[in-house]
Amino acid sequence: MKVKKRYRKIIALSAAALGMTAALHVGDAMAYFTTYVSSAGGGTVSLGTSTLIHEDPVVNMTKQIMVENTSENPCFVRVGVFSGSIIRFSQAEGESNWSEGDDGYWYYGPILEGKSPDEETGPMTEVLNVEIDVPEGYDRDDFNVVVVQECTPVVYDDEGRPSADWNAGREAVN
Amino acid sequence: MRKERRVTYLLLALAVILLLGSAVGSTRAALTYYSENYTAEVKVSQIGVSLAENGNIVSKRDYDGDDWKTESSPLLSNMLGEGEKLALNKKYEEKLAVRNTGEIDEYVRVRIYKYWTEADSDKKLNTLSPGLIKLNLTHEGEWVNPDGDTSDRECTVLYHKGSVPVGGEVEFADTIAIDKDVAAEFTTVDKGNGIIETVYKYDGVEFHVNVEVDAVQTHNAQDAIQSAWGIDASALGIL
């Protein structure tokens, strides 16, 4: 009886081992032809600008204004000339790239290119001549003229033309 | 008794002789059975793929003979001219295409990664959207983007519909531009003496575009694509 029991155990274990072996499935060893490539690149966004306004003293009731780009990045510039209500302004004679906007600013049309690192001075705008016309009865030797200059980066519009977006952006909160 | 033993010895000797004879015979047969030498060449299918930028191959990996032939150079290296500064919103030519430079047809997919890093650093900048790097994707009818519009995401995956024949080329982008919103935040500082300085929050940041192209054989394509890319090609509509 004892022997029979032992044999039964061996037979059962053998059957289990056989069953497990049969259940083992060797996966298909499949290989496919594949290949790959990759490439990467990029660039730097250089934005900072610095502009310098050149104002000559008033001579013959005319003020001459020029703006110099002292940074390496191209930009558009505009100039605001404010003086209260006692004087008027007019542009000097001849062709000029300056034009007066509806908002009181004077806009310089061409891109003011960036300064070359090898040069001491940067590209400058043409001269904006502002003739000051003091009405009769006012003091011609005592008046104030405030000049404000601004610049903005060159951006391209949908048609691919360089343009200035003076309303874009906001002062960063530091 | 002696007679029986003699018979036994005789039979044993005979058996040994027979055994030796048969062995020599088979050895001879084996020696004379060599055939002439033949050289057989089995040509393995040679798969290859390349990434082309503005008509020039920038990266290539082709199986050639018994080795991989590879070439690699960076993207966007000719985007700007000598001394030229990047202009915002300007569309620069960036025609990107996959070219089948192998000897068998293949299915291809493209993975595009766009991201920003801080100025003079490899550290990723997460406050600027990858969408400000405007890589204009083309031939949209020829590619499947299972995730829909991914222009604002860091990664875009495109699967080409149908196989690309040997020597064929499929384009997926044509221009790149950096959105003007990257200059949206700035500070203006009056430095005195007529100098006005505008400092932009994201001045000096770097944009990056990485492109990865994968190719798979067309034979048994459903299983091959499932194995290589883990997708159901039929369900995606690319077979």
Regarding whether B56 and B10 lie in a shared domain, the answer is no
**A50 chain-B contacts, CB cut-off 8 A:** 191, 195-198
Regarding whether B197 and B80 lie in a shared domain, the answer is yes
> Is residue A27 pLDDT above 50, yes or no?
no
To the question of pTM greater than 0.90 for the whole model, the response is no
Domain that holds residue A112: 51-163
Computed over every residue of chain A, the mean pLDDT equals 80
Regarding whether B118 and B4 lie in a shared domain, the answer is no
CB A138, CB A132: distance < 8 Å: no
Q: Tell me what pLDDT residue B20 has.
A: 62
In A71-100, the residues whose Cβ lies within 8 Å of chain B are 72-74
The verdict on residue A147 lying in a domain is yes
Does residue A169 sit at the B interface (CB-CB below 8 Å)? yes
Regarding whether B107 and B19 lie in a shared domain, the answer is no
Regarding whether B55 and B31 lie in a shared domain, the answer is no
**How is residue B79 written in tokens?**
């985007």
Instruction: Give A22-29's long-range contacts (Cβ < 8 A, gap of 24+).
Output: none
Q: Tell me what pLDDT residue A173 has.
A: 46
Q: Tell me what pLDDT residue B31 has.
A: 47
The verdict on residue B82 lying in a domain is yes
Q: Tell me what pLDDT residue B232 has.
A: 96
Q: Tell me what pLDDT residue A26 has.
A: 46
**B70 chain-A contacts, CB cut-off 8 A:** 37
Q: Tell me what pLDDT residue A156 has.
A: 93
**A162 chain-B contacts, CB cut-off 8 A:** 87, 90
Tens of pLDDT along chain B (239 residues)? 566 777 777 777 877 776 665 555 444 444 445 556 666 555 557 999 999 999 999 999 999 878 899 999 999 999 998 888 899 999 999 999 999 999 999 999 999 999 999 988 889 999 999 999 999 999 989 999 999 999 999 999 999 999 999 999 999 999 999 999 999 899 888 888 888 888 999 999 999 999 999 999 999 999 999 999 999 999 999 99
The verdict on residue B41 lying in a domain is no
Q: In A18-145, where do the E strands start and end? A: 34-44, 49-55, 62-69, 75-82, 88-91, 98-100, 105-108, 128-133
The verdict on residue B20 lying in a domain is yes
Domain that holds residue B192: 48-236
Q: Tell me what pLDDT residue B25 has.
A: 44
- Mutation site, A28, A36, A65, A115, interface B, largest B CB count within 10 A: A36
Regarding whether B97 and B64 lie in a shared domain, the answer is yes
CATH number at residue A135: 2.60.40
pLDDT digits (tens, 9 = 90+) for A3-24: 566 677 777 777 777 666 555 5
The verdict on residue A139 lying in a domain is yes
Bridge partners, A68 (sequence order): A52, A124
pLDDT digits (tens, 9 = 90+) for A50-107: 899 888 777 777 788 899 999 999 999 999 887 764 555 555 566 778 888 888 888 9
The verdict on residue B117 lying in a domain is yes
Contact B217 A33 (CB under 8 A): yes
Q: Tell me what pLDDT residue B28 has.
A: 47
pLDDT digits (tens, 9 = 90+) for B195-218: 888 899 999 999 999 999 999 999
Q: Tell me what pLDDT residue A63 has.
A: 81
The verdict on residue A77 lying in a domain is yes
| Cβ neighbours for B22, distance < 8 A, ≥ 6 positions apart | none
CB B217, CB B236: distance < 8 Å: no
Q: Tell me what pLDDT residue B121 has.
A: 87
Q: Tell me what pLDDT residue B26 has.
A: 47
The verdict on residue A61 lying in a domain is yes
Q: Tell me what pLDDT residue B29 has.
A: 47
The verdict on residue A90 lying in a domain is yes
Q: Is the ipTM of this complex over 0.95?
A: no
Regarding whether B64 and B1 lie in a shared domain, the answer is no
As a whole number of angstroms, the distance between CA A81 and CA A133 comes to 14
pLDDT digits (tens, 9 = 90+) for B24-46: 544 444 444 555 666 655 555 79
Instruction: Give B200-203's long-range contacts (Cβ < 8 A, gap of 24+).
Output: B200/A47, B200/A48, B200/A153, B201/A172, B202/A45, B202/A47, B202/B128, B203/A45, B203/A46, B203/A47, B203/A48, B203/B119
Q: Identity (one letter) of the amino acid at A62?
A: T
Q: Tell me what pLDDT residue A48 has.
A: 87
Structural domain total, chain B: 2
Torsional class of B127: left (φ above 0), alpha (ψ -120 to 50), beta (otherwise): alpha
Provide the 3-class DSSP secondary structure of residue B225. Answer: helix
Structural domain total, chain A: 1
**B124 chain-A contacts, CB cut-off 8 A:** none
The verdict on residue B43 lying in a domain is no
Which residue from A152, A2, A172 is spatially nearest to A67, judged by alpha carbons? A152
Regarding whether B78 and B4 lie in a shared domain, the answer is no
The verdict on residue A29 lying in a domain is no
Regarding whether B227 and B156 lie in a shared domain, the answer is yes
Regarding whether B187 and B77 lie in a shared domain, the answer is yes
The verdict on residue A95 lying in a domain is yes
pLDDT band at residue A154 under the 50/70/90 scheme: very high
Mean pLDDT of A135-145: 73
Contact B188 A171 (CB under 8 A): yes
The verdict on residue A25 lying in a domain is no
